[in-house]
């Protein structure tokens, strides 16, 4: 494993992102929807820094099933609050091909929010297959399989306080 982003770098970027959101939204109420499971650490750190009135909910979206290549996308929105007429910020851990976020946004637009924006911790360079670009991006990273700070490989490494790239031996050895 190779460290890409230290704990300090992550906290600095989350703080800067929170300041932008506080400036952009002032005291207007905001509903944050975390895309689970990978975004939960990012979401928790972010909401503690936001100053506007807010509501928080989650959707579960998954396309990785025990490997490093995405499969069929599954979305479960049962734990998402009503977003009709509300300003919504979708918070995700990583923007890779972009298909997950596009599908989550399609689902949410059907629920008629007043506005919908997106924030991602990581944007993986050169992997996008969609026209969408997230509104808020904390980091752009190279094309590597990353873990830590909520991101996992086969349900491991979510607890790391930093973000690391797995080496081929790390993946083959599991």
Nearest to 171 by CA among 63, 67, 37: 67
Q: Is residue 105 exposed (0-12), middle (13-18) or buried (19+ Cβ within 10 Å)? A: middle
Which residue matches tokens 């009709």? 84
135 is catalytic: no
Counting beta carbons within 10 angstroms of the beta carbon of residue 125, is it exposed (0 to 12), middle (13 to 18) or buried (19 or more)? exposed
Q: What tokens were used for 2?
A: 């190779």
Say which of 87, 92, 93, 96 is annotated catalytic. 96
Instruction: Give one word for 122, left, alpha or beta, with left for phi > 0 and alpha for psi -120 to 50.
Output: beta
Tokens at 40, concatenated = 């939960």
- Please answer whether residues 41 and 150 qualify as being in contact, where contact means their C-beta atoms are separated by less than 8 angstroms: yes
Residue 59 exposed, middle or buried by CB count within 10 Å (0-12, 13-18, 19+)? buried
Catalytic residues: 96
């Amino acid at each position: 494993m190779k460290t890409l982003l230290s704990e300090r770098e992550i906290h600095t970027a989350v703080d800067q992102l929170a300041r932008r959101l506080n400036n952009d939204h002032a005291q207007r109420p905001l509903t944050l929807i975390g895309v689970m499971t990978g975004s939960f650490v990012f979401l928790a750190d972010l909401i503690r820094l936001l100053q506007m009135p807010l509501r928080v909910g989650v959707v579960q979206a998954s396309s990785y099933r025990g490997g490093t290549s995405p499969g069929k996308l599954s979305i479960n929105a049962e734990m998402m609050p009503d977003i009709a007429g509300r300003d919504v910020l979708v918070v995700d851990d990583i923007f890779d091909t972009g298909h997950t976020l596009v599908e989550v946004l399609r689902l949410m637009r059907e629920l008629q929010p007043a506005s919908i924006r997106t924030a991602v911790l990581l944007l993986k360079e050169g992997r996008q297959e969609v026209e969408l670009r997230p509104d808020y991006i904390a980091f752009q990273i190279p094309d590597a399989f990353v873990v830590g700070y909520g991101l996992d490989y086969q349900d491991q490494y979510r607890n790391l306080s930093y973000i690391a790239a797995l080496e081929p031996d790390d993946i083959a050895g599991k």
